[in-house]
Amino acid sequence: DAKTTQPNSMESNEEEPVHLPCNHSTISGTDYIHWYRQLPSQGPEYVIHGLTSNVNNRMASLAIAEDRKSSTLILHRATLRDAAVYYCILRDHLDGNKLVFGAGTILRVKS
Amino acid sequence: DTGVSQDPRHKITKRGQNVTFRCDPISEHNRLYWYRQTLGQGPEFLTYFQNEAQLEKSRLLSDRFSAERPKGSFSTLEIQRTEQGDSAMYLCASSLIGRGAQETQYFGPGTRLLVL
């Protein structure tokens, strides 16, 4: 599975946007980019995924670089409930079964 | 609440004992996954089922570990002769695989195991 690189931790102020980066320079043409997050004492939860185009949903936006070697998860207005570990994961489109998690980015939100 | 339930939520056992965990997936989800997570790390894949068939097992799944999914509904994960290194959070996830391979996995709250 292709590897992703994320910062260990980031900090944000409440009500401000947060941009969480992910590098995946070895991404293949068939890999989708997925983001999951894990709130304290809970299992991971799906956030968003995309292939080439930017994607938006009610939780977040995903901006994918033109060369697909990096992507950014955007939380438009961080709340205290967004404090979690955010995981960037690559999944092959032909056989995207298991999720391969890295260490993720710990997001701290200050009030 | 994702709809995936796990039981028990916590388990303390002594080294050498056997333990069994149960996962109830979202109804009609055909895939069921088991992951293990230790403190400060992301979850690691253990095994997964499609319906009742176990399709992949990680190298992490030693001979002491066995998972079943009879009738393609709930699943159990048994650890025999537990060791202190088995202490971790055991997570279950389910999904509905259709034509595309980018299905969303829904995770349960996990079972936290402590082996003394």
List residues of chain B with CB under 8 Å from any CB of chain A: 2, 4, 31, 33, 35, 40-45, 48, 55-56, 91, 93, 100-110
Tell me, yes or no, if A53 comes closer than 8 A to chain B by beta carbon: no
E strands of B38-110, at which residues? Answer: 44-50, 53-57, 65-68, 75-79, 88-95, 106-107
Tell me, yes or no, if A3 comes closer than 8 A to chain B by beta carbon: no
pLDDT digits (tens, 9 = 90+) for A100-110: 999 999 999 99
- Residues of chain A scoring pLDDT < 50: none
Q: What is the mean pLDDT of residues B78-84?
A: 98
Nearest chain A Cα distance for residue B93, angstroms:
9
pLDDT digits (tens, 9 = 90+) for B2-41: 899 999 999 999 999 999 999 999 998 999 999 999 999 9
